[in-house]
Amino acid sequence: MIPEIASNLRVELGEGPSWDAEKKVLYWVDITGGAVYVHTPNDPNDKLVQRVKDVGCAVPRKGGGLAVASQHGLYGLDLETKALTPLTEQVETDRAENRFNDGKCDPAGRFWAGTMDGRPTRSPIGAFYVLEKGRKLKKVLSDITVSNGMGWSPDNKTMYYIDSPTRKVSAFDYALSTGEIKNRRTVVDFAQTQQQGNPDGMAVDAEGMIWVAHWGGGRVTRWNPSTGKLLDTIIVPADQSSSCCFGGDNLDELYITSARKGIDPKILAAKPLTGALFVVKAGVRGLPTNAFDG
């Protein structure tokens, strides 16, 4: 599987892709550039949706528009007026360098998003939150360093989560009716399996396998979370592969974001596709992007 270039854009920190099946478009963000973009398949000229400072992710919203995570808060973004409306109170305002990072919605429409230490020291001072449909925000995990990828199994009984510096993909028992998670365990260990880079964003396919982007590894890998076995590897022509998401009419196209941030100019010159949005036929259907129901 060889990824193709999906967009003409080259961004600083591409992240947070989500597929809107109704509109048949992909939303993705540039965190450093503070921008939300929309990509239409087979059109490389992606459009700027809105400027949002430190935007970590953007997901479709059932009532229309998007839900986004930005700096210390979660917001609704109106696609017509471009207005940002707070969905809940701000968090961690006493930690100026902290910001929200990746986020996704579960099959019940809850918005899950985590924070990270924005300083180069990267200390475990972030957290993982869930925003219920009634706009109640709950802290689920503490002592997080860089909150990243998440996903749910096809039977909705398992939730996956990544705190990147741990170099592990965790799994939890998951209750769809309540959103409760428990029994944390490791399903993929990058150190133990001698993988390049750190796990970043991820996606889950219809067979229950997980796809993980390697930050600093220039690839996306497919794993069996039940056995910890590596199943497939997609080499990406950008070292900082940051996240992935299934899209397309049949949900069999894997979109991959990447980043240019912090890369030596000589490496950028040798790898001009760094910071691009890629797409590849995955050979398997993925699970749909869930929308925020609130």
Catalytic residues: 200
| Contact between residue 157 and residue 174 where contact means Cβ atoms under 8 Å apart | yes
Q: List CB contacts of 193: < 8 A, sequence separation 6 or more.
A: 228, 230
In angstroms, the CA 42 to CA 210 distance is: 26
Burial grade of 5 (CB within 10 A; 0-12, 13-18, 19 or more): middle
Instruction: Please state, as a whole number, how many other Cβ atoms lie within 10 Å of the Cβ of residue 145.
Output: 19
| Contact between residue 101 and residue 144 where contact means Cβ atoms under 8 Å apart | no
Only one residue has tokens 């059932």, namely: 62
- In DSSP terms, 117 is beta-bridged to 98
Distance of CA 255 to the CA centre of its chain: 11
